[in-house]
Amino acid sequence: MIRRTLALPFLLVVVSCGPALKPLPPMAPLPEPPSESPGPVNTPAPSGDRIAEPPARDPALELLRERGLLVPVKGIFASQIPDTYDAPRDGARVHNAQDILAKRGTPVLAADDGSIIHVGKNTLGGNVIWTTDPSRRFAFYYAHLDHYAKGLHDGQQIARGDVLGYVGTTGNAPKDTPHLHFQVVRIVSGKRYSDGPPVNPLPLFTQMGITR
Ligand SMILES: [Zn+2]
């Protein structure tokens, strides 16, 4: 009897490897961003030919994780997003982002409080928006927008849940698969914000996509 049941736990592990669900936090006011100077964060020390160890602690990322992000498409829960962070794209590169599928025209929402760095266009992303988090240590990239919300401009202050634009297929998105390509990167001094190291946003989503 014991032997017969051995295969079952293994099967359950195999089929339950989807993204972890996190309970929604209470709707408490957001904490104020830290006002002190952040100082250098995780500056890797020169290590000769040794491969650098990952940092034991990442205070900026811990702060972002504590605050959590809103799923940036209206009506979508984190559990509906298949994890494509490590998926290959165009042969050579890795996705390093999440694709959030929704009907064309669904509102795209600010994932966090912050400000708009840039509203623009590029070949892969089509109509895109770059924003920051409140600490200005992370940048958020929203791509393939059908169109922008009216009146958006660089430098504008935004709040979590504000409508930034609408889901579409601009750039290299398949024309029959409207989605938001959403990326989070670290802002690193000496690098252009768009070239910062990426962070997987999926484990950071703690709030479904609702407008403010
Ligand atoms: Zn994508």
**Residue-wise pLDDT tens digits, 111-141:** 999 999 999 999 999 999 999 999 999 999 9
**Is residue 94 one of the residues assigned to a domain?**
yes
Nearest 5°: the CA angle 22, 30, 118 is 95
Q: Would you say residue 7 lies in a domain?
A: no
**CA–centroid distance, residue 183 to ligand 1 (Å):** 8
Quick: pLDDT tens for 141-177. 999 999 999 999 999 999 999 999 999 999 999 999 9
Residue 28 lies in a domain: no
Assigned token pair, 81: 């997003």
Q: How far does residue 14's CA lie from ligand 1's centre (Å)?
A: 26
Q: Strand, helix or coil at 73?
A: strand
CA terminus-to-terminus distance, the chain? 55
Span of 28-37, 58-67, 81-90, 174-183 with lowest mean pLDDT = 28-37
The count of domains in the chain is 1
183 within some domain? yes
**Which of 11-25, 53-67, 126-140 has the least mean pLDDT?**
11-25
Whether residue 190 lies inside any domain: the answer is: yes
Return the percentage of the chain with pLDDT > 90, whole number: 69
Please give the pLDDT value at position 46: 52
Q: 171: domain CATH number? A: 2.70.70.10
For ligand 1, the distance from its centroid to the CA atom of residue 182, given in whole angstroms, is: 7
Q: What is the pLDDT of residue 92?
A: 74
The per-residue DSSP string of 14-71 comes to HHT-SPPP-PPPP-PPPPPPP-S-----S-PPP-TTSPPPPPS--HHHHHHHHH-EE-
The whole domain housing 192 covers 59-207
| CA 33 to centroid of ligand 1, rounded, Å | 29
Q: Tell me if 106 is assigned to some domain.
A: yes
Report yes or no on 6 lying in a domain.
no
- For ligand 1, the distance from its centroid to the CA atom of residue 173, given in whole angstroms, is 8
CA 172 to centroid of ligand 1, rounded, Å: 9
Q: Closest Cα to residue 197, out of 179, 209, 184?
A: 184
Query: For 55-61, what is the mean pLDDT?
Result: 82
Parallel, antiparallel or unpaired: strands 69-70 and 205-207: parallel
| Residue 67 domain-assigned (yes or no) | yes
